[in-house]
Structure 1
Amino acid sequence: MIPFVKAHACGNDFLILEESEAGGRHAELARQLCSRHYSIGADGIEFLDRRPDGSFFLRLFNADGSEAELSGNGTRCVAAWLAYSEGLKATHIETHGGIRTCNVVECSDADFSIETGMGVPTIEERTVDIDSIGPVQGAVVNVGNPHFVLFTVDQDFRTYGHTWEALGAYLCTHPTFPNQTNVEFVRIVSPTEIHFRIYERGVGPTHSSGTGTCASATAAIALRNCARTLTATSIGGPQRIEWPANDQPMRLTGPARIVCTGEATASADASSAA
């Protein structure tokens, strides 16, 4: 039996497992345990490694078994669990995308509001040519992991004659991005508010994404002159972004909720349950 925690941030849900439970089967466990119809269900698993010096390291595996650099929402869920279970109100968590510092702003039982330092984002405008569509204009943004951000004015986030889900699938696996990319579709509501949708690498359409929130805000601030403090709202709800200057770290504030704890079984060949 494998002990797990389930948590979500704006509907972007994760399982939290101790690294010691993985047994080298990270990808297999992600494919099995994240299955919506045959297991617990989640967008990914955060494997929490507790180092001898008391520090923390996270490895994120998406629902399809692929490993990603980090998740902003997933990191926040882990910070919420450490606050809930161990009373840690401030944590430094290392990921493959850099160190993230999380501070609890508010808490009520299993519900938390957490501010996370997300590092200094980078952005570069880019045009991607898709055979059946033509040139697609957007921006490559890195916030510890890769994103491609497009702007749209459509209420349903359609652009270039396609739904955001369909175009997101095209762009995610386009040869321009050999390691694939997350894709965001952004609509400017006002100088202090944006709405967006996410097609997440290794998962597909998701309710929310912490790094996707940051990438969307980066593009809106850098390319559309939005305010450096703004609200970014996805299907799962709003999060707050503060980016004081281009060369300074971005801060992300949003909710996280501990859903449940339990124990799960995993087959010897977990990939067979994908």
Structure 2
Amino acid sequence: MDIKLIKGHGSGNDFFIIDEISNHYTFTEEDRSRLARLLCNRDSGLGADGILYVMDSDHAAGRMRVFNADGSEASMCGNGLRLVARYICELKGLEETVIETMKADLKVSKQNDLFDQVHTYQVEISPVLFELSALPLQLNKPSLMNEKIVQLSEELRFTALAVPNPHLIAIVEKDQLEGNLQKTLSEKVNGPNELFPDGVNVSFVRTLMPNTIYVRTFERGVGFTNACGTAMSASSLVTCLQEINQFEKPIDVYNDGGRVQCVVHQFDGKYHIDLIGNATYLYEAVINANVDDNTFTVLLKEDMSEQDSYEKLQAEAQELLSQY
């Protein structure tokens, strides 16, 4: 089967976009999973963190489904949603719209460039759930807010929430970011374990200055990534809950892939987050894939010129991080 792809990234979190609206592919559920494992393998000649399937919706401008590199389906992906927002807005000539995701219909919109010539989109991250059953996290309590999990660490305090994919977040100091602590506990909760039967995204968050944080995430089904959009959003919310940052004010969120902005909204006891960042295209390609044989051939690949501008944003971000 010949398949058209766009390779893009949000904050260095890279994906293939496959358009099922215009191309009318007839993928089975197993096909989508197999394609993710096949194409996202970094040793395959292509490689990515996942595949974003852009599909028709019966009530929104489009529907996004996200398959991780290991073939599992994610309920949400903030960096991926920015790419899908751009794709659908450009496909349908829109400045703002609503996109259906697994758990919610989310507002998206084109924004002024975050950095010169960097395509920028804002996406809604919601719903926000604190019930441990939503992750799930198997502890004998209804929620976990800035508390220890002794099975994981004697020193760290964690907050657990779903947005709607599951996140475990700790505010840390510089020395706790160094070494293997995050890798060790992340691998523990994403392997066979009694706490998180379905795994969890694990983020370490460090405050750099007022309204400025750094987030590093071990992503369920992927491992360490340059950035995770829902993790940066959830981490911003946690800093507001702990009165490190303020609701309704932009928070600059730095990551290994660059920088985004988050604005955390609180209304009537509920929360949602606006995630604002790049949606950068790297190349277009056509492949011939045989999922039964687990093989593919690249028939056409055409690089795009957007990465140069993003690398300037990234260099600026790395310069600031080097000061901390």
Q: Give the TM-score normalised by the residue count of structure 1.
A: 0.88
Pick one of 189, 194, 198 that aligns with 2:217. 198
Cα distance in 2, alignment partners of residues 136 and 221 from structure 1: 18
1:38-187 superposed matches below 5 A: 38-51=44-57, 55-106=61-112, 111-123=118-130, 124-125=144-145, 126-130=147-151, 137-154=157-174, 157-158=177-178, 162-173=180-191, 174-187=193-206
What is the RMSD of the two structures over their aligned residues, measured on CA atoms? 2.5
Amino acid at match of 1:266: A
Q: Is 2:278 aligned against 1:255?
A: yes
Of the structure 1 ranges 213-222 and 77-86, higher mean CA displacement relative to structure 2 is found in: 77-86
- Deviation digits for residues 43-74 of structure 1, max 9, x if unmatched? 01111111366631111100000111010110
> Do the aligned partners of 1:241 and 1:251 also contact (CA within 8 Å) in 2?
yes
**Aligned 8 A contact 1:147 1:181 in 2:** yes
Q: C-alpha separation between the residues in 2 aligned to 1:65 and 1:233?
A: 28
Structure with the larger strand share: 1
Q: Deviation of residue 209 (structure 1)? A: 1.1
Aligned AA (1:8): H
Any gaps of 5 or more consecutive residues in structure 1? none
Unaligned runs of 5+ in 2: 131-143, 297-324
How high is the TM-score relative to the length of structure 2?
A: 0.76
Aligned residues between the structures: 270
**Paired position in structure 1 for 2:238:** 219
> How much has 1:222 moved relative to structure 2?
0.8
**Structure with bigger gyration radius:** 2
In the other structure, the counterpart of 2:11 is 10
Q: Whose relative contact order is higher, 1 or 2, with alpha carbons under 8 Å and at least 6 apart?
A: 1
- Correspondence 1:188 to 2:207: yes
Residues 289, 295 of structure 2: 8 Å contact kept:
no
Give the counterpart letter for 2:19 in structure 1: E
Distance in 1, matches of 2:239 and 2:155, equals 20
How many percent identity over aligned positions?
Answer: 28
Question: How has the CA–CA distance of structure 1 residues 156 and 259 changed in structure 2, closer, same or farther, with 3 Å as cutoff?
Answer: farther
- Please give the alpha-carbon distance, in whole angstroms, between the structure 2 residues aligned to 1:248 and 1:53: 24
* C-alpha separation in 1, matches of 2:160 and 2:282: 34
In the superposition, relative to structure 1, how do residues 248 and 141 fare at CA in structure 2: closer, same or farther (>3 Å)? closer
Once the two structures are superposed, residues 81-133 of structure 1 have per-residue CA deviations (whole angstroms, 9 ceiling, x without a partner) of 223444322121111131111100136998411111212423432533437x5
1:210 aligns with 2:229: yes
Paired position in structure 2 for 1:21: 25
- Distance in 2, matches of 1:212 and 1:4, equals 26
Question: Partners in 2 of 1:14 and 1:58 — Cα distance?
Answer: 13
Q: Identify which of 28, 33, 37 aligns with 2:39.
A: 33
Distance in 2, Cα, partners of 1:150 & 1:31: 30
Stretch moving more, 239-248 or 251-260 = 239-248
